[in-house]
Every structure is written in structure tokens, then in C-alpha cells.
Amino acid sequence: MAFRASPQNHNPNNDFEVSQPPTDGVSSLSWSPRANLLVATSWDNQVRCWDVQQNGQAIPKASQTHQAPVLCSAWHGDGSKIFSAGCDNQVKMWDLQSNQQQQVAAH
């Protein structure tokens, strides 16, 4: 079944496009449990966060860097921190309030 653009279904899947996307493959995507925040990890060594507005506009919030590709991420239950793990054998915790990250484990 094909969908055609019209005022009623111009975006039937509610897709949105992020600004400042990863420059290499995306390895994971995860939504905050408390807000409209989307995090992507990628093979360009970055963890990026966007604030997705009600109108579908995704505004870059912040980003952090690993020393190698980042494979996955998980949100803290209160939505204030992101944990990421990468090919640099590090697990990092990123505090969104302070925009600081620290290594919390190695693998």
C-alpha cells in the first residue's frame, strides 16, 4: 500500500529529521524515560542528544566523545544521565545537567 502526501498524511509515520546527525553509522537509539530526548550512539565516536519538540523538530542538546566507536547507550531511570559503552573498552556516565562525563567501568 502506498501513501501519498496530503495535508492529512504528509508524515503518516511521524518521522523527523535531526540536525547535526552522526557522520558514520548509528549503532543505537534510545528515548529518555522522562522527556522527549533522543540519544544516538555511532561509529564516529560520538554520543549525541536531541530535544524533540512537539512539532517534530529535533534540536541538538549536547554531545560527548569516546575514543573509539560507541556501541550502545542506556538511560538512568530518572532521565538525568546516560550510560554509554564503546570499542574503547570504557563505560561512561554522562550527566545531562552538568554536561560532564566520567568513566564508570571498563569492559
CATH number where 39 lies: 2.40.10
Residue 18 included in any domain: no
Q: Residue 33 is part of which domain span?
A: 26-106
Residue 53 included in any domain: yes
Q: What is the pLDDT of residues 5-60, one digit of tens each?
A: 445 556 666 778 888 999 999 999 999 999 999 999 999 999 999 999 988 899 99
Q: What is the total count of domains within the chain?
A: 1
> What cell numbers appear for 21 in the block?
546527525
Residue 94 included in any domain: yes
pTM of the predicted model as reported, rounded to 2 decimal places: 0.84
Task: Tell me the sheet residues that pair with 58.
Answer: 18, 52
The predicted pLDDT at position 55 comes to 87
